[in-house]
Amino acid sequence: MRYEETEDDSVSPTDLSELLKEGTKESHDRAENTQFVKDFLKGRIKKELFKLATTALYFTYSALEEEMDRNKDNPVFAPLYFPLELHRREALIKDLKYFYGEDWEEKIQCSEATQHYVDRIHHVGQHEPELLVAHAYTRYMGDLSGGQVLKKVAQRALKLPSTEEGIQFYVFDNISNAQQFKQLYRARMNALDLDKNMKERIVEEANRAFRFNMQVFDELDETGKSLTEEAQDGGFPVHDGKGDLRKCPYYADRLGKAGPGCPYHAAVALAKQPLVQLILAACVAVAAGAAAWYVM
């Protein structure tokens, strides 16, 4: 699909995409500031917890895509039906097989918070399909945006293969340009025949979807507190070099032990050497020249 030929850049404050963007801003910020998400973004994610998060996503997307399939010919949702580009259930099954093995179905179960989310999605799909737009928007647009950041963090922190096993959920093979696809998706939403009242209800439902997600995050955070350190498989914690050096997990782990210091501070010290700075400057100059040539 050639996304760039189907998008109109002009939007109005009354368009559904703009109403959703503005109407869910507070919920979006709150979701990003849940402890689970903050720890995840810092690379502090236990492998067992990541597996449980993947399980929650599997049940959520199984419900969502079942209802999307049910309403694929319904004019209130059909324009947003992109199974080839967006559906995540099969990708999540690959991830679960990677983490749990071929008998993955026998080893997972739907958590309480996830079940509440799933129940709401089924209710909407079967009784108020217009509101299904809110759940699809909340999940897929997030996956194509911040989800791509989480993909890189998880791959690095959990030392997952470079071939992307375990993070297939974040891989959209049939979308060549995520930004253009998101523009197309928003244009399709704006073209839906919806009155003001229904648009407001969709925004309200999107905020409800965010709350369900936050409840799942909080549940995962509580579960993570009970996991043993042996379950931690996230590699070295992230340290930005700010504040008290003694609070750096890498440094604290080695207090009283022989061995190298914090890699961040070691790298900063090395970068201050005149010879290293000269080499770095030369590399930057070469890279800049190559970039200029490529643009021309």
Residue ranges for the known binding site for heme b are 21, 28, 137, 186
Burial 260-287 (b: 16+ CB within 10 A, else e): eebebeeeeeeeeeeeeeeeeeeeeeee
Place of tokens 């579960």: 223
DSSP annotation of 76: T
Give the residue ranges of the annotated binding site.
Answer: 21, 28, 137, 186
Whether the CB-CB separation of 54 and 92 falls below 8 Å is answered with: yes
Cβ atoms of 118 and 196 within 8 Å: the answer is no
Between CA 69 and CA 89 the distance in angstroms is 12
d(CA 265, CA 237): 14
The two three-digit tokens of residue 72, written as one number: 């694929």
Structure tokens at 174: 């049939």
Q: What angle do CA 40, 156, 140 make, to 5 degrees?
A: 55
